[in-house]
Chains A and B, each alone.
Chain A
């Protein structure tokens, strides 16, 4: 797995702090939904900084999309969200990881739990599900602090067809007056409301900040879900 150069073909501002970077990579060998890449920045003096970012596009999409949230004082994310421009080159390696991956052969039913920018790899799974015409039932719960922080909101809402794919949102801090989604943090009751019961053995993917993932995973296990059917991926500032 070697480092390769991609060209930024487009930058999409998703929210105030989140940008999707659309990349064209001549040497890209394809990926599986849920995988990530390592991005490496090199300063003029040779100093290098490296971070992991989930791939938000499906294997079936034309371009590779990384959806990056700017973290305060983040030396890589503050460059990617704010300074990077279309036409620039970006050094990365991947695709990486074979654990937090979903493809049709793994079946379901599928429960996807996303916190904040943890929606990125789950969006890739949902797009792959749609592109392959999968009939595996999916339930997605996406938690954000406020409506303006929801990434891919319209696309996700459209993906929810009320049948095979069920998409729900929860806003933990601020809810608009006409809000029809949930308005609280993820907990046992919320998961019990969204997910299939444990005896249906859903396959669960949880991605978000560490606190979100821990809360969701603990709640799932306490409800009786098989830990072997729960796959988690945590992200956040690299410290502590």
Chain B
């Protein structure tokens, strides 16, 4: 298990901005924190992002032939931070 920093490049590629500083709220337990601090499993298969508090699945990222499918099923709110 790693953390959100490990998928920073992939997320920036998809969203066009750094997402490690964005805060996500878990739809399961309402815990809120930076994406950098989530629990990340790189070979799940696909990438699985879990809440560090209740372990619920926050997001799944799957890549196939350079196309990305991003499912933020377990995130009730995602807030980006302004660039420093």
Residues of A participating in the B interface, judged by any CB pair closer than 8 Å? 1, 36-38, 52, 93-94, 96-101, 103, 105, 210, 213, 231-236, 238-240
Contacts and interface: CB of A to CB of B under 8 A. Distances in A.
Given A232-B37, A238-B42, A238-B43, A97 B5 contact: yes
Contacts of A38: 9
28 contacts: A1-B9, A36-B8, A52-B6, A52-B9, A93-B13, A96-B8, A96-B9, A96-B12, A97-B8, A98-B18, A98-B21, A99-B4, A99-B21, A100-B5, A100-B20, A101-B84, A210-B2, A213-B3, A231-B36, A233-B5, A233-B36, A234-B3, A234-B5, A235-B6, A238-B42, A239-B42, A240-B1, A240-B41
Contact of B36 (A37, A94, A100): A100
A234 B36 contact: no
B83 A98 contact: yes
Nearest to B7: A52
Interface string B32-47: 0011110001110000
Closest 5 CB pairs of A and B: A99-B20, A99-B36, A98-B18, A38-B9, A97-B8
A234 B6 contact: yes
Interface residues of B, number: 23
Contacts, number: 71
Contacts of B35: 99
Residue with the greatest number of chain A CB neighbours at <10 A, chosen from B5, B13, B20, B83 = B5
Contacts of A239: 42-43
Contact of B3 (A36, A37, A232, A240): A232
